[in-house]
Amino acid sequence: MAQKNHGPSIKDDEQYETLREKGYSKEKAARIANTDREKAGKRGGKHPPYEEWTVDELRDRAAELGIDGRSKMDKDDLIDALRNH
């Protein structure tokens, strides 16, 4: 199958296509495909895992991302929604 060119906004077309085939949203696939892998490892890890956050902290983060239905979600649902946004 011929690789599609997604234009200058996508740095790694092959990775983008693979992520889309796996079911990732266009936004998330683009973010991952455009990540400089060398810098990403150095940048990450500043927050504890979501399991260590309070429900209020998780709801605040979900609000920042515009996740609907967050007020009725329990902790596990919030974590799932945040990870799959």
Tokens of 44: 């990450």
Q: Where are the domains of the chain?
A: 13-43, 50-83
d(CA 75, CA 73): 7
What is the residue-averaged pLDDT of the chain?
84
Asked if residues 32 and 24 have their Cβ atoms less than 8 Å apart, the reply is yes
* Residue 73 near residue 81, CB atoms below 8 Å: yes
pLDDT > 70? residue 77: yes
* pLDDT score of 42: 62
pTM greater than the 0.95 cutoff: no
Per-residue pLDDT of 10-43, as tens digits, reads 888 888 888 889 888 888 888 888 887 766 666 5
What the block records as the tokens of 79 is 């974590």
